[in-house]
Amino acid sequence: MNTGTIKSFAAKLSLTVLAAGALLFAGAAPAQAQQWGVGIHVGAPAYVVDRDVYYRDYAARRFYARQRAEREAYERRQREEFLRREAWLRHERWEREHRFYDRDRDFDHYR
């Protein structure tokens, strides 16, 4: 085989491979494959600075704060009512203990 034949054979072969690759690349259908993956996290959660935890449950915190305020107001009213009644009872007991009916021998209050 002379060198001219080898050169023409190599040129024909490279041209054929190039044409076959171009046809294969141009004629390929787009892939329709489904993709899925599995992720495993080991260790402590990452500390993220911009995560806004305070406002995440804003509605729930407002609801429970309102409930707590109502309960505290109710308990305060109950406590004030109890103290008012205790003061009234103390006053009545004091009046009962400090009545001096026999001081001036006036028993008209029995009529």
For residue 60, the model assigns a pLDDT of: 85
Query: What is this structure's pTM?
Result: 0.39
Collapsing DSSP to helix, strand or coil, 40 comes out as coil
Specify the amino acid at residue 67.
Answer: Q
Q: Does the pLDDT of residue 3 top 80, yes or no? A: no
Q: With left for phi above 0 and alpha for psi between -120 and 50, is residue 43 left, alpha or beta?
A: left
Q: Quick: pLDDT tens for 60-101.
A: 889 999 999 999 999 999 999 999 999 999 999 988 887 766
Q: Does the pLDDT of residue 51 top 80, yes or no? A: no
Instruction: Enumerate the domain spans of the chain.
Output: 52-100
**Tokens representing 40?**
């495993």
pLDDT greater at residue 41 or residue 87: 87
Residues 6+ apart with CB under 8 A from 109: 101
Collapsing DSSP to helix, strand or coil, 57 comes out as coil
Asked if residue 101 lies in contact with residue 107, where contact means CB atoms within 8 angstroms, the answer is yes
